[in-house]
Amino acid sequence: MREYPRNLWVLAIGMMINVTGTSFLWPLNTIYISEVLGHTLRDAGFVLLLNSGANLLGNLLGGALYDRIGGKKTIFIGVILSCLSVIALAYNREWYFYISMMILLGFSGGLVFPAIYAMANGVWPEGGRKAFNVIYVSQNVGVAIGSALGGIVSMFSFTYVFLANALTYFIFLLIIWLGLDNKLATQPRDLVDRGEKKQAKGQVELRTHRLELYALSLLSYGFMAVWLGYVQLQTTVSVYMESMGITRAHYSSLWAINGALILLLQPFLSRLVNRYMSSITAQLLIGGSLFTVSILYFSQQTTYLGFVAGMVVITIGEMLVWPAIPTAVAYLSPPGKSGLYQGIASGAATIGKMIGPYLGGILYDSYNYTFMMLVMVVIVATSLVSFFFYSQVGRRREKELQF
């Protein structure tokens, strides 16, 4: 543990606090809209769609802002806007005001994540995937804590949920603003040096940049495709399980298993990755294969234990793919573009989260659960093709860089 730099721990703790606050709210949104505001589930879905769309814009702008003004200032803007949004929601329950604040909250939250990932690479560039593993695990700890506490707090009042969310945002801001070194560079120095040397090589630099954009597009598509399938576990699978007589409590326990596995398996999986998956491509291909197999397995299940087994497999796939994407993006990013590239990748994941529930719902209602999941298998399987071609482009890029 001592090899991890102090600034990375500050980022990890900050991420955990931030996601804890966010997780106070997102599992309860549908309940709040239907039971407190008195609107339909369709209305709730529309609001969450707007929230995700704003989050996508925030991802893209947040990455660009990181490259322009640095990570701390970008996070400051995002967190202040988020904090003001949830405080306003605590005291105003008018429907259109709620919609506008959820849009602002999605946008402001989107500003933060690309900056965190870009900073993780900036504070420990030589750490590679280890840096992103730390951020990934801290994020999941936050989800587990926030989801549990949010349900308890909401039993007293939803006003307390919003205020508790605001408090976590404020703590997160203090941790990042006071805990991180002020002299942090937005880009690792060796990449800047390499970029400066390449500027004199005109055509080589242009070809390299095109290859980087092509590789980023392949990674982003793969990320989106995997999320399209994965998000079904949070939406249509819960409806199907209930139709099969499996209780909501049992469904909720699947996510408890997911969080526990991420914490318990991380040390063992890290050793396996270091020993047998030396390249990011291998990690992506194995992880994507586990996603494909597990979703195919989910499509045939009718028992709770079957869903538990599927959750174990897909969690391992998640542990491989989620940290590998920002690691690969960090390696691709040219000098001064780290934030933008991370924002594009984060935006691709957000598109998957936006489209997935809508597409899954249409297929589920028009056909059936099994057909819907088989379509998702095909979509997720295309990520393997995308990750494979990413590796081919990466090899060509390496040859250009060695010119």
Instruction: Using pLDDT thresholds of 50, 70 and 90, give the confidence band for residue 206.
Output: low
Check: CB of residue 307 under 8 Å from CB of residue 16. Answer: no
Label residue 101 by pLDDT band (50, 70, 90). Answer: very high
Kindly report the pTM of this predicted structure: 0.84
pLDDT for res 194: 43
Report percent pLDDT > 90 for the chain: 47
pLDDT score recorded for residue 108: 95
- pLDDT at 318 > cutoff 60: yes
Interaxial angle between packed helices 248-276 and 304-332, expressed in degrees from 0 to 180 and rounded to the nearest 10? 40
Q: How confident is the model at residue 205 (pLDDT cuts 50, 70, 90)?
A: low
Cβ-contact 37, 160 below 8 angstroms: no
Backbone angles phi, psi at 93, to 5 degrees: -115, 30
- Confidence check: pLDDT of 164 > 70: yes
Coil, strand or helix at 2: coil
| Calpha distance 69→350 (Å, rounded) | 24
Choose between 253 and 265: higher pLDDT. 265
Lowest mean pLDDT among 89-98, 130-139, 193-202: 193-202
Mean pLDDT of the chain: 85
For the ranges 70-74, 230-234, 238-242, 345-349, which has the lowest average pLDDT? 238-242
For the ranges 98-107, 113-122, 141-150, the maximum mean pLDDT occurs at 98-107
* Mean pLDDT, rounded, for 259-279: 85
Stated as kind and residue range, the H or E segment containing 381 is: helix 369-401
pLDDT at 362 over 70: yes
CA dist 208 and 7 (Å) reads 31
First to last CA, the chain: 38
Q: Helices (DSSP H) in 231-368: which residue ranges?
A: 236-243, 248-276, 280-298, 304-332, 338-366
